[in-house]
Amino acid sequence: MAVVLCIDFGLKRCGLAISDPNRIIASPLQTIASETLEAWLEIEIPKRQISEIVLGYPTRLDGSDTHVTENIRLLKHVLETKFPQLQIQLFDERFSSKMASTAISQMGHKKKKQDKGLIDQVAAALILQEFLSQS
């Protein structure tokens, strides 16, 4: 089986998470600057045998767009064009950053000193784990 990558896209940085080859467990991978995402994907997709990308899809509670939602739709289109061999999925990411921050706090890290990059990685892993459990 092939690996699934999750991208928690932000205007400044992206949190990344990856599945195991059996698509059971999601693990935080790393955080990268958003402007380097495309170059990173060109290298890592073949290296890690990624077959599918899940994009965290942000919406408000009422389902309306956030300030990033349109960027995610554009990113999906770019990825589908550049990597036609991959499946690109949108997946609800509401509350993922808050849940990630809470999980990190429960591991003993104080909320005021939490690394935003770590929060992005854990949020991506939470999104991916939920996706994997529903597929």
Provide the pLDDT for residue 83.
Answer: 97
Task: For the chain, list residues with pLDDT below 50.
Answer: 104, 112-114
How far apart are alpha carbons 133 and 131 in whole angstroms?
A: 5
Reported pTM: 0.84
For 97-133, letters b (16+ CB in 10 Å) and e give bebbbeebeeeeeeeeeeeebbbbbbbbbbbbbbbbe
- Tell me if the domain spanning 3-134 has CATH number 3.30.420.140: yes
Residues 23, 26, 28, CA angle at the centre, nearest 5°? Answer: 145
Provide the pLDDT for residue 63.
Answer: 80
Q: What is the largest CA-CA distance in the chain?
A: 42
Provide the pLDDT for residue 114.
Answer: 47
What are the angstrom distances between the C-alpha of 129 and each of 3, 28, 36?
13, 10, 24
